[in-house]
Amino acid sequence: MTAVASHTKAQSSAATPSRGVAPPLRLTLIGKQLLALTRDRKLIQTLRRVADPAHEVYAAGSEIDLAGALMAHQTGVVVLDVAALASPAGQLAAQLHAQFPDIVLIVTGGAGDQVALSAQITDGSVHRFLHKPVSEQRVRLFVEAAWRRYAEGPGGPASMAAALAARAPRGAKWWLLAAGLAALAAPLLWVGLNAPPTPLRPAPATAGRSAASTAGDATLEALLARADHALAAGELAAPPGASAADLYREALRRNARDPRAVNGLEQIIDRLLSDAEGALQERRLQDAQQLADQAHAIGPDHPRVAFLMAQIGAQRERLVLDKAQHAAATGNVAGALAALDDARRGGRHSTLVEEARQQLAQQQVDERVAEFLRRGREALLRGQLIEPPAESARSFIESARALAPGDVLVQQATQELIARLQAEAGRALTAGNPDQADSLTSAAAAAGAQRADVAALRAEAQRLRATSKGDSLARLALTFNERLAAGRITDPAADSAKFYLAQLLQADPGHPTTQLARTAFDTRVLDEARGALRAQDYALARRWLTEARAAGADAASIEAVETTIGAAQDAAQRASSYVSASSMTRTRYVAPLFPPDASRRGIDGWVDLQFAVNTDGSVGELTIVGAQPVGIFEQAALDAVRHWHYQPVMRDGRAVSQRARVRVRFAMER
């Protein structure tokens, strides 16, 4: 978040005095700005409402932004929101108080945060603690008290005028995506980094007394000598255990009050930071970071370390933004986003980087929306409203609407699509194609068409279907009746009465036309079965009954025909069965002649015959069905039986033909 000011005319300088008259002394507050480190919009709005017109209110979103704003603006009061801090509130408050003792500090947060800051509140480095949620009245009281503290304190207007004048505000520049305070932070922070170093002070004791008290400690003296030698050799933080830093720290462990060890560590920090500053000037960020980390390990609370860390962060941020800016300027939005995402993954939060990423992401979305709309309008011109699905106007415009539903151009394109869909649905209805009309109408409804328009199109499609259906049923019924009258009941399969009845049943099984056709078909099939029965073609009769069952004909009628067929088949079976000739009355008998050859040879045998007794009693249709021995007695048996005669068989008062069987035996008399 960049610093934002609400500038007023109340910042004008004192009136120009009359010539020859000394100007009156005025205690004007030089540090007129109130700087708030917070991302809480409500808190910022409250601070601006309660602010005196003479005091501008600036908002910083991160500690890097805060550092740059402190150097760029004439700040008198700072409000720290614990929720916006990356580092511990107590540590940041101590660093601010050490570097800017004139600034009055207010911290806002929860009860636990107040407990953590109790030491700073007690020693006065934190002037007031403001509990959240804040009230406007309480904020006003705290801010007014802070300004009074600032005006009355030792760092007030009279003593600090010259110092604050050196911190003249500098303007901010923005590049298209995210340039701002981070780009200015590095040169501004040199003021803090190049200020005279603040020494690490030992515990209260005079230097002479400390040196005298350790003169007899040979081990300590050896450590200090080695440390001085390592310092002179430039072995500041390495090798481990033999570096100047390690040796001076070891000396402090033996005597925490020895000023030589304290001053030695101060020199190490100063040299590390100077080297880091040089590396930073040469844009060797990795080297600068390594040196700053070494200085931080020695003096984590050293104010120059904190500011150098902030400057390195600002430099990193500036490089990231420059890289993203260059990629975006060449049209590589994806590359710019990748650069910003890499910075986010580095673990360092930056409001500017985040804002730049949001702007780029929005730009990328805008470009995709524009591309979808372009392709959607091209599809409209080609008439590809809903087909093919992935290349249709509906697909492209719906994709644009998913990304930016509130965009005016997207909404206009959606209305164009709806109008075209409804118009094409009307044309489909005029052409007698209700299915296509329904498909187009459904697409218009999904795009947000008016319910009344959708309902009207669907009602018209339904009416068209009903009319078309009636005409279709009438045509099918006419063709069915023609095939039935021509005797084309089941054949050919694709042009028979049965085929067109199936079409009627599929179209509308409950329609009266379909029901009439079904009754006619059932009646005709049963009539065909009865005709086959009269012709004694029982197999054909049963095939017609199978058709009747499949068509759903009346079950009682089918059963009646089935019963008649069974009875007729039984009668025929009885009529065609063979009976023993001995069960019939023979009226004429001719004895078979014994073949001479068989007589000479003394052979016996038999012959089985089947024959029909005609209605006049004569024998016909003689057939040999068996003989023993074969080829001896067959002809003699045929010659004899052919002349036999029987009394006719009577059934139901009339003579009928009857089949009989007989065995004629041949035996020698012994």
Residue ranges per structural domain of the chain? 28-169, 469-575, 578-666
Provide the pLDDT for residue 376.
Answer: 93
Provide the pLDDT for residue 572.
Answer: 63
- Residues 321-357: pLDDT tens digits? 777 777 777 768 777 777 677 666 655 656 667 777 7
With a pLDDT cut of 70, the percent of the chain lying above it is 82
* Cβ neighbours of 529 (radius 10 Å): 25
Provide the pLDDT for residue 24.
Answer: 37
Token pair for 136: 């406007």
> Which stretch of 99-113, 199-213, 385-399, 443-457 has the lowest confidence by average pLDDT?
199-213
- Residues 464-479: pLDDT tens digits? 888 877 888 899 999 9
Instruction: Report the distance separating Cα 631 and Cα 659, nearest Å.
Output: 25
- DSSP per residue, 87-106: S-HHHHHHHHHHH-TTSEEE
CB 69 within 8 A of CB 60: yes
CATH class of 28-169: alpha beta
Taking the alpha carbons of 370, 373, 375, 378 in that order, is the dihedral positive or negative? negative
Place of tokens 């929005």: 362
Provide the pLDDT for residue 183.
Answer: 38
Token pair for 318: 């500036």
pTM reported for the whole predicted model: 0.35
- Phi, psi angle pair for 59, to nearest 5°: -120, 130
Instruction: Report the distance separating Cα 349 and Cα 402, nearest Å.
Output: 30
Provide the pLDDT for residue 29.
Answer: 43
Q: What is the mean pLDDT of residues 545-549?
A: 92
Greater confidence (54 vs 547) lies with 547
Provide the pLDDT for residue 154.
Answer: 58
CB 217 within 8 A of CB 254: yes
First-to-last alpha carbon distance for the chain, in angstroms, is 144
**573: pLDDT confidence band, cut at 50, 70 and 90?**
low
Q: What is the mean pLDDT of residues 371-383?
A: 93
CB 142 within 8 A of CB 130: yes
With a pLDDT cut of 90, the percent of the chain lying above it is 43
- Mean pLDDT, rounded, of the chain: 81
Provide the pLDDT for residue 649.
Answer: 92
Most confident of 119-133, 173-187, 207-221, 356-370: 119-133
**Domain 578-666: assigned CATH number:** 3.30.2420.10
Instruction: Report the distance separating Cα 127 and Cα 145, nearest Å.
Output: 9
